[in-house]
């Protein structure tokens, strides 16, 4: 049924649960898996001293470490994957847009993503990449909540 599964990861517990679910489904369906991480430079105030090249490089290094961890989990589970680090630089792109665009480009037929399940003021202030993704994706989306 599903042959190409896209999994955006951020290194969180719910992201890891989404990976586990993707691996189970990939084994059952003999599907390909692509794991992506989006480096979010836009959320920084780029005029500040805090957003130095060294800090941005640290974000890239952290993203690559998250992908390497996911790749190790995949190997341990006997799953072959591909990974990609994406960078959100243009202000007009949201993370959810980048995930959808990557899914279209890679021809994903399912996106599996962890959701943090924020409620109340945290949800209002921070929003939800998962919620935005569900609203704009034309590909089926499976959201995995924290246990």
**In whole angstroms, how far apart are CA 35 and each of 43, 44, 93, 107?**
22, 24, 19, 13
User: Is pLDDT of 9 > 50?
Assistant: yes
Span 90-116, average pLDDT? 90
**Per-residue pLDDT tens for 32-45?**
999 999 987 655 55
**Per-residue pLDDT tens for 49-69?**
555 778 888 889 999 999 999
Q: Which of 24, 1, 15, 25 is nearest to 130 (CA)?
A: 15
pLDDT of residue 107: 98
Q: Is 8 helix (H, G, I), strand (E, B) or coil?
A: strand
pLDDT of residue 42: 59
Q: Which CATH superfamily is domain 4-145 in?
A: HUPs (3.40.50.620)
Q: Which span out of 11-15, 60-64, 114-118, 119-123 was modeled with the highest average pLDDT?
A: 60-64
Unique residue bearing structure tokens 């586990």: 20
pLDDT of residue 8: 96
- Sequence ranges of the domains in the chain: 4-145
Tokens representing residue 108 in the block? 């994903």
């Amino acid at each position: 049924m599903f042959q190409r599964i896209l999994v955006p990861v951020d290194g969180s517990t719910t992201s890891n649960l989404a990976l586990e679910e993707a691996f189970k489904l990939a084994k059952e369906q003999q599907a390909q898996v692509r794991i992506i991480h989006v480096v979010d430079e836009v959320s920084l105030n780029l005029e500040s001293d805090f957003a130095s090249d060294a800090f941005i490089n640290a974000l890239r290094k952290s993203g690559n470490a998250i992908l390497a961890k996911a790749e190790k989990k995949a190997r341990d589970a006997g799953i072959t994957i591909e990974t990609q680090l994406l960078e959100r630089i243009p202000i007009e792109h949201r993370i959810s847009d980048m995930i959808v665009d990557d899914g279209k480009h890679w021809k994903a037929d399912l996106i599996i993503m962890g959701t943090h399940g924020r409620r109340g003021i945290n949800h209002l202030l921070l929003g939800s990449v998962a919620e935005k993704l569900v609203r704009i994706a034309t590909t089926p989306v499976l959201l995995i909540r924290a246990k």
